[in-house]
Amino acid sequence: MLSNPNLQLDLALAEAERLTRENSKTFHLATELLPTEARRAIRALYAFCRRTDDLVDMAGATLAVVEAWRAQVALPAAAQTDLALLSWALTRERYGINRRYETELIDGVALDLTKHRYANWMELERYCYLVASTVGLLSMPIIGLAEGVAFEEAAPFAIKLGVALQLTNILRDVGEDAGRGRVYLPQTDMARFNLTAEDILNGVYDERFIELMKFEIRRARDLYHRALPGIALLSSAARPAVGAAALLYRAILNEIEALNYNVYAHRAHTSGWQKLLLLPGILWTVWTVQAPNINGLLVPRET
């Protein structure tokens, strides 16, 4: 630990900022819409998630490495020596974040070392919850909820959004994951279109694969559709950032379609200019989204 607490904090925040800016331009842009303190805290969360996810892509990664990381993550801020983990530990302590979701996220990342196939959607949905929905659940104490909304009421929408985001990741990265020997697409879905995991590993790109991708994109869009009303349950300060993150990511599905679903040869992404052009419409959607019914009552809008 550094002897100067202020310098230590500054360095930790700078490291979280660097990891966010360098690894996710979409998330970095979306979080610019948050108030300063929440923005720093959310980027600290991103830095923790990024470093955790990177563990299993390192040469020689083992479950022992993940468990050592889990133990390091659990240390209080006063005992942290890693700048990214220091920024996260300070955030976790400040906002009283439930460490259950932190543990589940690490559980999900560890699966990448032992499980490279998913039998059906139920199995893949569980994986998506572990590695992505948990991030939304960790975020909520930081970004806040609308007046009168309980965590338990907003959580199902955060879970759906996390699954949608991770499924989008999976569809974008089919080729990249195949290069690592991983096939996340459910085996029952592949069989529906007469494909196998071996076909994906071999980069089979034909009408069967295109129809499979169309099927999965419809599923992802349905998840976004069902998750978006939950944005109205968040604090007014948080809605633009969460809406931008969700809808800019959803736009990747459009880019996959524009590539005629050839995610082996190209990595779908939205350019900086595309993001800026999309933002006005996204913000309009965010502020006009209809709040969901909770326990039979329409949640009032917070103004």
Q: Which residues of 206-238 are buried (b: 16+ CB within 10 A; e: fewer)?
A: eeebeebbeebbebbbebbebbbbbbbbbbeeb
The domain made up of 115-303 has a fold known as: Farnesyl Diphosphate Synthase (1.10.600)
Residue 264 is predicted with a pLDDT of: 96
Task: Please tell me the predicted confidence (pLDDT) of residue 282.
Answer: 80
Q: How many CB atoms lie under 10 A from the CB of residue 8?
A: 18
- The pLDDT value given to residue 175: 96
Residue type, 264: Y
SS (H, E, C) 258-300: HCCCCCCCCCCCCCHHHHHHHHHHHHHHHHHCCCCEECCEECC
Q: Helix 121-128 crosses helix 151-172 at what angle (to 10 degrees)?
A: 110
The two tokens of residue 158 are 């955060």
Q: CA-to-CA distance for 133 and 169, rounded, in angstroms?
A: 13
- Tell me the pLDDT of the chain (303 aa) as tens digits: 444 455 566 777 778 788 878 877 777 778 888 898 999 999 999 889 999 998 888 877 899 999 999 999 999 999 998 888 999 999 999 999 999 999 999 999 999 999 999 999 999 999 999 999 999 999 999 999 999 999 999 999 999 999 999 999 999 999 999 999 999 999 999 999 999 999 999 999 999 999 999 999 999 999 999 999 999 999 999 999 899 889 989 999 999 999 999 999 998 887 777 877 877 888 888 888 888 876 544 444 443
Distance CA 137, CA 151 (A): 9
User: Hey, what's the torsion of the CAs at 97, 103, 108, 111, to 10 degrees?
Assistant: 170
Per-domain residue ranges for the chain? 1-98, 115-303
What is the residue whose two structure tokens read 């599905």? 253
Compute the Cα dihedral for 164, 166, 168, 174 and give only its sign.
Answer: negative
